Amino acid sequence: MLPPAARLTRSQDFGLVVRRGRRAGRPRLVVHALMPDVPTLDSSKVGFVVSKTVGNSVVRHRVYRRLRHVVRPVLADLPPGTLVVVRALAPAAEASSSELAADFSSALRKLLTGKVPR
């Protein structure tokens, strides 16, 4: 589980990150990130979007758990106040945890450095 302080829960926050944040797409997921303009002491927060295009409820929940497991250790390394939304795409249903981790780390590296990962 993610600690409650590290979760995006309001739909307004999800919308803000998706509209105003930067985006990096990968074959199995899309990562949106909004970095604060001013340094802050707020904790970084993450939210997940796993829609019905991924699969039925069992498959969606499995993908959600895998993504949560992938994101948890990285959350502490994000700049304070960063908001992240991870949107799973349909191929995420057949992906292993290591494939999801590779896609997430690649997308996050691109968002944080502004460079395309190799």
Question: Would you write out the chain's pLDDT as a tens digit for each of its 118 residues?
Answer: 788 899 999 999 999 999 999 999 999 999 999 998 777 788 899 999 999 999 999 999 999 999 999 999 999 899 899 999 999 999 999 999 999 999 999 999 999 887 544 4
Answer whether 92's CB lies under 8 Å from 29's CB.
Answer: yes
Q: How far apart are CA 47 and CA 73, in angstroms?
A: 15
Beta bridge partners of 83: 34, 45
**36 — alpha (psi -120 to 50), left (phi > 0) or beta?**
beta
Break the chain into its structural domains and give their ranges: 4-113
Determine the pLDDT at residue 115: 56
Q: Global pTM? A: 0.90
Q: How far apart are CA 34 and CA 44, in angstroms?
A: 10
Q: For domain 4-113, is the CATH number 3.30.230.10?
A: yes
In the numeric block, which tokens belong to residue 77?
């390394």
